[in-house]
Amino acid sequence: SPGSVWPHPFSHVSTAQTFPVAVETFVFTYAPKSFKCDLLAEAFKRYEMIIINKHIQTLVTFRQLNTLTVTSLQVNLMAACEEYPSLDMDESYTLDVNSMAQASLSAKSVWGVLRGLESFSQILWESDSGQIVANKTNIIDKPRYAHRGILLDTSRHYQPLDVLLENIDGMAYNKINVFHWHIVDDQSFPYVSTVYPNLSQMGAFNPLTHIYTPEDVAAVIEYARLRGIRVVPEFDTPGHTTSMGKGQPGLLTECYTGCSPNGNYGPINPTVNTSYTFIKNLFTEVKSSFKDAYIHLGGDEVSFACWQSNPNITKWMKDNNITGDYSKLESVYIQQVLDISAAIGYSYIVWQEVVDNGVKVKADTVVEVWINNHPDNELAKVTGMGYRALLAAPWYLDYISTGEDWKRYYTYEPSNFNGTAEQKALLIGGEACLWGEYVDGSNVTPRLWPRASAVAERLWSQETVNDVDAATPRLHQHRCRMVQRGIPAEPLHPGYCKHEWRN
């Protein structure tokens, strides 16, 4: 039915009774006892423009109709605004359009208000006569999981700043609340460090154009903050660091053939103190730039071959009684990085290999499960160890197949692993991951949406909201909504949108 909300709310009751909406003069107002803040003032401006621009072709106005009309949305924010979103933020809200065409939104936090504003914008729809209307509606809503993320990789291909901001808008339209910024990797180091400027000078694809300056990073964080979205950076080590080594001589391990270096380099050298000094200085700078409590430390896909070839590494391992145990060598490195991060004030997320390889981590570590080989078993293992978990394995959006592959993402139920109720409570959410090998600014957005929308509903809505047939027309409607708002989301199936994409 028109005016559906995506992701599906916890409770959504509407009737066939509709009211015209005063699009041209619509305003948001505060309830008498509501808290106020600049963040909400900005949100009101955005959604006023969404409502006006979305329905700019409307020919019939409320002035021509002798009936009850929705002219405003009264917002009641019940607590003072928080400055930045967090893992513990309250995103619940109540939205009501009553029989007198009075619309109201109430929430315990500013983040709940933002989610409610998005839902309100979605319940508005265009009738056959061209009039924008809203059904008599009551929504009581809250997310199922606290962490609902999108990973974008800006190393394999550089993603222009405006493309990142466009997709942060897409996240807001889908109630995604974490931008996991996989900002650097082997291929390039676009992050401009003021402490180590050679990292981007030597490691970026182009040190003048394909970089993210401190001002760019601040712009992304602020843009996301205004939409209730956390920005969690990932600086993956000790592997995936080829570009890092270009600007930091002595950081990476020299690979040997026989008794001589062969010109290749492997993971960060874990046996020298300079490696940890570098990490400490870089992460201290990152902490001052990124405002979230969490950093993603990576720790995945560490190849031991170069360490095995290097005689200095071999000697160090012998001297420290770990000869031949390269998982233990990796643990030595990871443990130091975890301690450094904690001392700086970070909480952290790691890929699953860190705990799979037996690294001792803090009790509040978040482990992200990504290997798509029995992820249910891995979730059971990780939560059985008492760690909080994120699920990414079934939602790698860079795996492309013909047809409606969103259905595969939609039908994967994250809670279906063997474990106690306490273990299942340790699953705090998940992420849809779009790695950058084959996407850049030309195609990243349509490849992301609306496929990531399927993951968004799985993480926001209740477990019982899982009917693909029921979801299909709602997702088609939401895809058209995103297109109308300027997000070039790809089609689900043969069909059309009333307002087609215009670049």
- Cα 482 to Cα 115, 185, 274, 489: the distances in Å are 16, 31, 48, 7
CA 338, 340, 345, 351 dihedral sign is: negative
C-alpha closest to that of 338 among 281, 298, 370, 310: 298
> Is the previous residue joined to 450 through a cis bond, with omega within 30 degrees of 0?
yes
Quickly count: other Cβ atoms within 10 Å of residue 217's Cβ: 20
Which residue has tokens 């970089």? 211
CA distances from 181 to 118, 150, 175, 406 (A): 23, 8, 17, 23
The alpha helices in 55-187, defined as continuous H runs, are: 110-123, 161-173
Q: Out of 301, 413, 437, 463, which one is annotated catalytic? A: 301
Q: By C-alpha distance, which of 493, 494, 491, 471 is closest to 480?
A: 491
Cα 367 to Cα 353: distance, rounded to the nearest angstrom: 9
Is 301 a residue of the active site?
yes
Specify the 3-state DSSP secondary structure of 396. Answer: strand
- Residue 273, class by beta-carbon neighbours within 10 Å (0-12 exposed, 13-18 middle, 19+ buried)? exposed
H-assigned helices in 34-188:
38-54, 110-123, 161-173
Residues marked as catalytic: 301
